[in-house]
Amino acid sequence: MKTKCWLVLALTLSTSLFAQEMTNAPAAPAKATQPLSQATLDKIAAMTPIFDGKTLDGWKASKKGINEMDVATQWTVKDGALASLGAGRGVLYTTKQYGNYRIIFDMRHNFEKKDHQACVLIYCIEPTDEHKALDALGGIQFQVPNGGHWDYRPGKNTGGGKEFTTVNKGRFDVKEWSQVEILVNTNGTARMAVAQPPGTKAVEVLDFNDPTAGRVGAFALQMHQANLFDEYKNIRIEENPTEDKLITTE
């Protein structure tokens, strides 16, 4: 009888602890089903496309130590999306440099063997004849859509610390299309919001704040390794935004 009592007590305690653990776990942002307002859709439509959906014009490819690679060996255009060919580690970056800007795009993460998330880079250091390309262009990495991060600045190469703030821990399905908005300022602040599916209200996921990181630079898509076949489309940018806020969360 005593043994049965102890078993019942142990089961009750374990069930209670499990329930408490589940209660205290960070709540995942629910999938937004509320559509974006027409006002927000109009703002997005007014932004400047930086990918024409047909060609690789306006983009360069590089990797550590190699300033420029043949873009067509690294990326292609597939069904209106920029699609990685899974060739290996490297970046695809804009030929134009940006200071204060808002960028909005759709993306999904495709892979043969899961190892690393899809990544974009801000505050990139453009390679020059005198200075070979840094790994990940020495930029700040935002992992999309779920909000991981890394700091590739010279002398750093770490996951970062208090300069990154997880606003909401993402629980988005990486293989499904997400809409991402990133607001970048040369004062070293950047904020990211994500919606799934695209066209619905977004949730703020990740913030960055380090004045020493702020700079004018390219925006880049990072391939962490071979056999990643990530896709990006509907890439639009607004330079010097009139509103210093995330518009897709409204």
DSSP 19-47: HHHHHHSPPPPPPP-SBPPHHHHHHHHTS
The arithmetic mean of pLDDT across residues 26-45, rounded, is 78
Domain assignment of residue 174, yes or no:
yes
Domain assignment of residue 39, yes or no:
yes
Domain assignment of residue 16, yes or no:
no
| Structure confidence by residue, pLDDT tens digits, 181-225 | 999 999 999 999 999 999 999 999 999 999 999 999 999 999 999
DSSP-derived letter for residue 132 is P
Nearest to 213 by CA among 141, 158, 139, 144: 139
CATH of the domain at 161: 2.60.120.560
pLDDT surpassing 70 at residue 25: no
pLDDT class of 111 with cuts at 50, 70, 90: confident
Please give the backbone phi and psi of residue 189, each rounded to the nearest 5 degrees, phi first: -110, 140
pLDDT above 70: percentage of residues in the chain: 87
Domain assignment of residue 18, yes or no:
no
Contact (CB, 8 A) for 147 and 192: yes
Domain assignment of residue 147, yes or no:
yes
Domain assignment of residue 187, yes or no:
yes
Domain assignment of residue 247, yes or no:
no
DSSP-derived letter for residue 226 is T
Contact (CB, 8 A) for 115 and 224: yes
- Phi-psi group of 26: left, alpha or beta (phi > 0 → left; psi -120 to 50 → alpha; rest → beta): beta
The arithmetic mean of pLDDT across residues 62-83, rounded, is 96
Q: 16 or 51, which is more confident?
A: 51
Give the number of other CB atoms < 10 A from CB of residue 109. Answer: 23
- pTM of this prediction? 0.87
Nearest to 228 by CA among 93, 110, 145: 110
| Structure confidence by residue, pLDDT tens digits, 83-96 | 999 999 999 999 99
d(CA 106, CA 197): 9
Q: What is the CA radius of gyration of the chain?
A: 21
Domain extent for 37 = 28-239
Domain assignment of residue 180, yes or no:
yes
pLDDT above 90: percentage of residues in the chain: 82
3-class secondary structure, 18: helix
Position of tokens 């919606």? 195
Contact (CB, 8 A) for 134 and 152: yes
Number of domains in the chain: 1
